[in-house]
Structure 1
Amino acid sequence: MLKNYLKIAFRNIWKNKVFSAINIIGLAVSMAACIVIMLFVVYEKSFDRQHSKNIYRLDEVQKFEGMVAPQKVALSMFPMGPTLKNEYPEIRNYTRVNASTDMLVMRGQKKVELPRILWADSSFFSLFDFRLLEGERENVLKEPNTVVLSREYATNIFGNEDPIGKTINHYGSDTLALKVTGIMENVPANSHLQFDALFSFSSITRPDFMDNWGGNWLVTYLELAPGTNVASLERKFPSFLQKHMKGDNWKFYELFLQPLAEVHAKSTDITHDYINFQKFDQKYTYIFSLIALIVLVIACVNFMNLSTARSTGRAKEVGIRKSIGAQRLQLSGQFLGESILLCMISLVLAVLIVKLLLPSVSDFSQRKLDFSIFTNLRLLLIVLGGTVLIGIFSGLYPAAFLSAFEPIKVLKGTLRTGKSTFRSALVITQFTSAVFLIIATGFAVRQLRFMVTKDPGFDKEQVIIIPLDSKSGPKYASLKQELLTSPFVESVTGSQQRLGNNFHQTGVRFQGTGPVKEIASSQVIVDPDYLKLYKIKLIAGRNFEDTPGDNAKTYIINEALAKKLLQEEPTLTLQSLIGKRFGFGGMDSLSTIVGVAEDFNFNSLHHKIETLCLFNQKDWGYSEMSVRIKGTQNEQAISAIKAQWTRIVPDQPFTYSFLDEHFAELYRADTQVSEIVGILAGLAVFISCLGLFGLASYSAERRFKEIGVRKVMGASVAGIVALLSGDFIRLVIVSILIASPLAWWAVSTWLHDFAYRIDVEWGIFLSAAVLAVLVALATISFQSIKAALMNPVKSLRSE
């Protein structure tokens, strides 16, 4: 019996080549899309799942006066970890980490750059389950000046030599010699903590750090006892802060705990999150899953539509089988089996598509996606099980529909299927989904273009960023002087922080006409030429003067801070702020405001412009140098800059990046979302059109004789095309009317997450509607025109 069913199934597939091809291609493409999205979602959800302990990250909410809004930060204070452990039995252990810039180390005469470094407490390996290949987990970071290297960098530095007990030196420092006490396996890519070396925290800490309540510069992780009521523990934190912080400073902070498994995917609203590899918004993984599911449903709808539309072709088969004793359940099983078989054929094609495209998808998403279906039994069972479910879902209605035919009507030739309201509803469902995704894609692309092209208030083009460290930083003045002599260099400046990041915040004091006011503001230390290089406009006052008397005694504030100060002193004007006393706690005395800069987006457009003060403190040095190059001769300019660097800092490697690349990286997640939604929308339209093509083909075939009669009676080609296309276009128009309000709601909700966003304009809705109608017409027209141009003699010859 099974052999007979298979034979019939294959014959039916071969007999209806066009319709079978449409179903197989549609299902294969949609299944491939679902598999890729599944791999992406599984990868995202795997972040930090390799650790067995109950670990939480300690985060803060900072709510200083003068801030646009309270700000969540991924930073905490040095004393918090050990103090919390001592005072709350729910907290079993803690560890603290701090990221460092890349470091050049030496072993003998060999120099190796360590690109990713973390300073960590000795308890690091007690909390995290990173695999330690050599060394004792409790002791590898216990002593000062010790280091644990990744397997890769241990090999890079020592080759085949055993590193344990050996020493590496920080190039440029005569005092920092690091003893290798451990070797660990390379950090897996699905860890939000990424590092090539761990340095012992005790190398840089001092006992007085335990009194530093208020300095936020590291990340604290806590191990909680199993079964701890996290909400109850968090309610104790305000009294903890009040107990340890001076005065009323505790009121400016809140503490909250974030499960380790949520750090990667639920931190998009948390700033100063410097140690969070490939941070991604979890809601987008759900959106991708939903859209992929929609695409799959569209393909299943095609199967239902085409199967029921061609029901008359199998009516006699059903009638004969029923007349010789076949039960409805047997017939339903047969048709479901054919549906599952078709899905299995589609799966083979889908696997080939995934295997071909996955390397490109991995490069685009920057994820190491692996589709090891032939070696991973669990994955194989999931894919096969999913395919069977798709086959059942797709074939359930056609099986019920076909098996319900009455044999007497079939054999007498009185069976009439006519128009199907359900089939029309399925077409509307398909195109509603497709139009919805077209609109969503249009807005996603426009919002991304808006963020990329919007004037941020400074010029980031042709700017090279060169990191500085303890070796090159002291030579900044010499580097600047020499670089300015190059014909390729327009200007040079230095700063302690990079545009496109969260700037550090501090408490500042302002004295207008009354008593001193204390508020909070972002701050950045800059070279006097900072505004000149970045072409930031002044709306009041003057720029910094590159003179010793101006060093660290003058401030330039942005418009946002100026407005805040004017709120504090309503009698003042923008111009009268110039010369007013202003500064922050580390200064000997209050300094003065010398200028007000036009607001510029020093962070991404996801965030509103915060209050900001810029000041020049040469003695504190700069962490990077910005060089604006002339013209478009980038290669020559970089070569010239490198030559000057090599001459002045001969033993320090020259590394650089373009600032616009940094901003492109800043919006990479938005770019990925935009492109993935666009690709899935294209697939939805493509699969919907496949189904529409199949239905149009069937409609033209079913009305073959009617078209011949109409042509004999004088009907024009245009009239027949309109006749065949009209019903489908009406369904597409209904789809547009349903999709538009749904898309408006979804897009408005999504755009609300952006501080700076485009308006929800009806132009995109209109464009999507026109595109959907044109695509539908193009799909239908081939079959409609072909039917309209046929010779009527052929259709009437049999009459």
Structure 2
Amino acid sequence: MLHNYLKIAFRNFWRHKSFSAINSLGLALGLTCSLLIFLWIRDELRVDHYHANGPHLYRIMWRQLSDGKRMAMPETPGPMSQEIPKKFPEIVQAAGFSNRHAHLTFTVGDKINKETGEWAGVNWFNLFSVPLLSGSPETALKAPNSLALSRKLADTYFGSPQAALGKSVRIDNKETYQVTAVFENLPENTSQKYDFLLSWDDFLKRESWAREWGNPSPETFLQLRSDTDVAAFNAKIKHFLRSYLGINTKNASRFDVELFLQPYEDMYLYAQTDNGEISGGRIDYIRLLSIVAGFLLLMACINFMNLSTARSANRAKEVGIRKVIGAERSRLISQFIGEALLLTFVAVILSLVLTSLLLPAFNQLSNKQVALPITEPDFWLALLVIMLFTGFLAGSYPALFLSSLQPVRILKGIISAPTKRSAKGLFRQGLVVVQFVISMFMIIGTFVVYRQINFIQNKNLGFDRENLIYVPLEGALLTSYPILKQELQRMPGIQYIARMDYHPSRIGSNTTWVDWQGKDPAVNIGFAQVSTGYDLDKATRMKVIAGRYFSRNFPTDSSGYVINEQAARRIGYKNPVGQPLTFWGKPGKIIGVIQDFHFQSLHEPLKPLIMWFGEANTYGNLLVRTQPGQTKQALASLEKVCKTLNPTFPFSFSFADQEYQNMYQSELMVSTLVNYFAILAIFIACLGLFGLASFTAEQRTKEIGVRKVLGASVFSIVTLLSRDFLIVVLIAILIASPIAWWFLNRWLQSYAYKTDLNWWLFALAGFAMIGIALLTVSFQSIKAALMNPVKSLRSE
């Protein structure tokens, strides 16, 4: 019996090669896209899930009530990791982590390179499953000037992990560190990337502000006992910081700080907060792409169902004869679902080939290193589930429909293919509507996502990031800044020089220690703060709208402050220039107001900002404005001067526009993926439409011949054949537009600054959908209309 069913299946596939090819290709494309997304999601879900203590690891979050608003962040005071385990027996161990992505200069013999690493607490290697190749977890980061290297750095500087142990490394040409441990290179599925670790005592020594309880910046990780009730523990630590920050029940109503825990395994996917609560992050991309994968697979299945039911008349007599000779309906259903599963199996094999071919490009696009996990049983199990689900979904309706046909009517010749007026025909058209609703939704989504990303890339930030270069001030450049500036101003290609703590688009330091005349004591406002030097307004082309910027002509500017418009509004002075302002306990005057500029992600609203004078600071970044078209000469000048003044450090720099782009890598990646998948969704929908148009033209061949004999024009016949499909597309547009508006409007709410959802976007997407459908259908319609009526009618 099975042998006969297989023969019949292959015979039908071969007899209707075009329909079989369309079904196989549609399913294969849908499965390929779903498989690529599945591999990406699988990789995302595995990030940070390899630690033995993982289920009991947590990150301490800081929730602050300020200015009537609640915000949450992972930063904590520097002493937290050493103090909190003493107070709560539920904590097994804890460790601080700098999370600064420090780029330090390593010198070993004649090897001088920039390396990226962090500072971490003494318990780091006991908390996390980072295998040590040499050294002990207990002593690796215990002593001052301890240094733990990755295998990569050990091989680079010393030849092997064993040879590195006990050796010395000069860091930033300031201090010598001893290699106390070598750890295995971190896996790709980790969110914390570092090639070296330094001891926590060194961090607190280097950054004196980090020893203060009121300056949250580093992160604190801890391990709880397995029997700990996390909700109850959150309640215990909630007000832990009050005594350290001088907060009591009287002033807690206007300013308070709370602590709570976030599971370590969640922090990669849930990194965003809203109103003091963890709200989302990369998990939103997983949900989005999961929906896209489901849509693509559904569209491929709809193609299969549509074409199978449309061709039902071709197999009606087969069903009738089988029923007459005693075939049960269950056997017929099994036969047709079996054929669907067979076709799905072919599509799965084809999709595996396509996936393996597309993976290199997909990895480059998504910045991943995923591969087909052919050696893992769970992959094949998942693939089997997808194949069975797809096969049953695609074959269920055709099987139920064909098996329900009555043999008496079939053998009398009454059966015909479902028409647009029959219930089955309406169901088939409904499936086409679903396909084009999805396609329309993805076209509109592609337009809106592209516009938002383009809006981000081209928005006026309030400073000019073109021809602006950042150079870190380090080594001898810190103490020779006046000479450096003087030398660079004489070099070709350079227009302006300035210095600043942070990059203009990444100012992350905040404070509430600001006072002014008439300040409401019940209001506690958080201000962003940054120290700057002379000429920053010229180097960045920020606009001063009142007063002036720091100037060499006014020695008293060393105690002056420049604020942005947001700060001026919150402070409330009618004419702020010349008014008193106390910052960090240092009284001074406001000397200028600059136009608001975006110094954080566009996800965040503009905040009040205070700039204080720091021309003589021994830290920060050099900002260089180059002459237009002379970037190459400017870089050569920079490198020459920096190497002369700072020969023990490699020359490093970054472009302001590239730094800004890096802030939105995730959005750019997801936008590009969605664009490609939207194109594939439209192609799959058109593939099904092409098959249906082909079948419709074939079924109406004699009708077309009669119409041509009676004088119908080619245009009228093309219109006749296309009209039904266009009505379906118009219905899909009407259904998809409000759904897309609601979904995309919610997505745009995650940005404080966003593009508009204009009506013409939906109209443009609708016209595009109609145009694509017309192009797809018109080929078969014109071909049928141009057919010689003699050939189509000669059998009559």
TM-score by length of 2: 0.94
Could you say which residue in structure 2 is the equivalent of 1:109?
110
Deviations 1:335-368 (A, max 9, x none): 1111111111111221121111111111111111
Q: What is the identity, as a one-letter code, of the residue corresponding to 2:242? A: Q
Moved more, 726-735 or 377-386: 377-386
- Pair 1:789–1:488, CA change in 2 (3 A): same
Question: Is residue 722 from structure 1 mapped to residue 719 from structure 2 by the alignment?
Answer: yes
Distance 2:10 2:359 in 1: 31
Distance 2:88 2:520 in 1: 41
- Pair 1:670–1:204, CA change in 2 (3 A): closer
Taking the TM superposition and a 5 Å limit, the aligned residue runs for 1:30-179 are: 30-53=30-53, 54-65=56-67, 69-98=69-98, 99=100, 101-114=102-115, 116-160=116-160, 162-173=163-174, 176-179=175-178
Moved more, 246-255 or 363-372: 246-255
Question: Is residue 557 from structure 1 mapped to residue 563 from structure 2 by the alignment?
Answer: yes
Could you say which residue in structure 1 is the equivalent of 2:318?
317
Q: Secondary structure at the match of 2:164?
A: coil
Deviations 1:377-407 (A, max 9, x none): 3212321331122111100111111122222
Question: Is residue 597 from structure 1 mapped to residue 594 from structure 2 by the alignment?
Answer: yes
Could you say which residue in structure 2 is the equivalent of 1:485?
490
- Pair 1:483–1:795, CA change in 2 (3 A): same
Distance 1:197 1:609 in 2: 35
Which residue, 528, 545, 548 being the options, matches 2:551? 545
Which residue, 262, 267, 273 being the options, matches 2:266? 262
Q: What is the identity, as a one-letter code, of the residue corresponding to 2:547? A: G
Moved more, 232-241 or 640-649: 232-241
Shift in Å at residue 754 of structure 1? 0.8
Moved more, 701-710 or 70-79: 70-79
Taking the TM superposition and a 5 Å limit, the aligned residue runs for 1:516-527 are: 519-527=525-533
> Tell me, which stretches of 5 or more residues in structure 2 are unaligned?
420-424
- Pair 1:700–1:578, CA change in 2 (3 A): same
Deviations 1:94-113 (A, max 9, x none): 10011352112222333343
Moved more, 327-336 or 29-38: 327-336
> Between Structure 1 and Structure 2, how many residues are aligned?
778
- Pair 1:466–1:378, CA change in 2 (3 A): same
Asked if 2 retains the 8 angstrom alpha-carbon contact of 1:79 and 1:213, the reply is yes
Question: Is residue 674 from structure 1 mapped to residue 674 from structure 2 by the alignment?
Answer: no
Shift in Å at residue 502 of structure 1? 4.0
Distance 2:631 2:717 in 1: 62
Asked if 1 retains the 8 angstrom alpha-carbon contact of 2:238 and 2:260, the reply is no
Could you say which residue in structure 2 is the equivalent of 1:696?
693
Distance 1:757 1:533 in 2: 27
Q: Secondary structure at the match of 1:162?
A: helix
Could you say which residue in structure 2 is the equivalent of 1:387?
387
Q: Secondary structure at the match of 1:235?
A: helix
Distance 2:485 2:638 in 1: 10
Asked if 1 retains the 8 angstrom alpha-carbon contact of 2:499 and 2:533, the reply is yes
Distance 2:389 2:411 in 1: 34
Distance 1:302 1:100 in 2: 50
Question: Is residue 665 from structure 1 mapped to residue 662 from structure 2 by the alignment?
Answer: yes
Percent identical among aligned pairs is 38
Shift in Å at residue 64 of structure 1? 3.2
Which residue, 652, 655, 658 being the options, matches 1:655? 652
Could you say which residue in structure 2 is the equivalent of 1:29?
29
Question: Is residue 793 from structure 1 mapped to residue 790 from structure 2 by the alignment?
Answer: yes
- Pair 1:635–1:514, CA change in 2 (3 A): closer
Asked if 2 retains the 8 angstrom alpha-carbon contact of 1:112 and 1:156, the reply is no
Moved more, 393-402 or 470-479: 470-479
Q: What is the identity, as a one-letter code, of the residue corresponding to 1:443? A: V
> Tell me, which stretches of 5 or more residues in structure 1 are unaligned?
273-278, 567-571
Q: What is the identity, as a one-letter code, of the residue corresponding to 1:487? A: P
- Pair 1:502–1:647, CA change in 2 (3 A): closer
Distance 1:239 1:156 in 2: 47
Q: Secondary structure at the match of 1:178?
A: strand
Could you say which residue in structure 1 is the equivalent of 2:422?
none
- Pair 1:327–1:17, CA change in 2 (3 A): same
Question: Is residue 414 from structure 1 mapped to residue 385 from structure 2 by the alignment?
Answer: no
Moved more, 687-696 or 541-550: 541-550
Taking the TM superposition and a 5 Å limit, the aligned residue runs for 1:618-633 are: 618-633=615-630
Q: What is the identity, as a one-letter code, of the residue corresponding to 2:501? A: Q
Q: Secondary structure at the match of 1:172?
A: coil
Deviations 1:748-767 (A, max 9, x none): 11111110112221111111
Q: What is the identity, as a one-letter code, of the residue corresponding to 1:784? A: S
Q: What is the identity, as a one-letter code, of the residue corresponding to 2:490? A: T
Q: What is the identity, as a one-letter code, of the residue corresponding to 1:504? A: S
Could you say which residue in structure 2 is the equivalent of 1:434?
439
Shift in Å at residue 411 of structure 1? 2.2
Moved more, 664-673 or 2-11: 2-11
Shift in Å at residue 71 of structure 1? 2.9
Q: Secondary structure at the match of 2:37?
A: helix
Moved more, 430-439 or 81-90: 81-90
Deviations 1:243-292 (A, max 9, x none): 332255763322221111111111133899xxxxxx95211111111111
- Pair 1:97–1:586, CA change in 2 (3 A): farther
Distance 2:103 2:519 in 1: 47
Deviations 1:123-148 (A, max 9, x none): 11111111112222122111111111
Deviations 1:418-439 (A, max 9, x none): 3111101101111111111111
Distance 1:555 1:534 in 2: 18
Asked if 1 retains the 8 angstrom alpha-carbon contact of 2:527 and 2:607, the reply is yes
- Pair 1:795–1:132, CA change in 2 (3 A): same
Asked if 2 retains the 8 angstrom alpha-carbon contact of 1:555 and 1:614, the reply is yes
Distance 1:686 1:430 in 2: 11
Q: Secondary structure at the match of 1:205?
A: helix
Q: Secondary structure at the match of 1:417?
A: coil
Distance 2:765 2:516 in 1: 56
Distance 2:317 2:765 in 1: 43
Distance 1:612 1:211 in 2: 24
Could you say which residue in structure 2 is the equivalent of 1:276?
none
Distance 1:494 1:586 in 2: 24
Task: Give the alignment's Cα RMSD to 1 decimal.
Answer: 2.2
Distance 1:271 1:35 in 2: 36
Distance 2:594 2:299 in 1: 54
Asked if 2 retains the 8 angstrom alpha-carbon contact of 1:57 and 1:259, the reply is yes
Distance 1:531 1:255 in 2: 39
Could you say which residue in structure 2 is the equivalent of 1:275?
none
Shift in Å at residue 659 of structure 1? 0.7
Distance 2:558 2:195 in 1: 37
Distance 2:519 2:159 in 1: 67
- Pair 1:323–1:406, CA change in 2 (3 A): same
Shift in Å at residue 215 of structure 1? 1.6
Distance 1:698 1:491 in 2: 70
Asked if 2 retains the 8 angstrom alpha-carbon contact of 1:544 and 1:550, the reply is no
Shift in Å at residue 491 of structure 1? 0.8
Q: Secondary structure at the match of 1:193?
A: coil
Distance 2:397 2:20 in 1: 17
Could you say which residue in structure 2 is the equivalent of 1:230?
230
Distance 2:459 2:496 in 1: 24
Question: Is residue 531 from structure 1 mapped to residue 528 from structure 2 by the alignment?
Answer: no
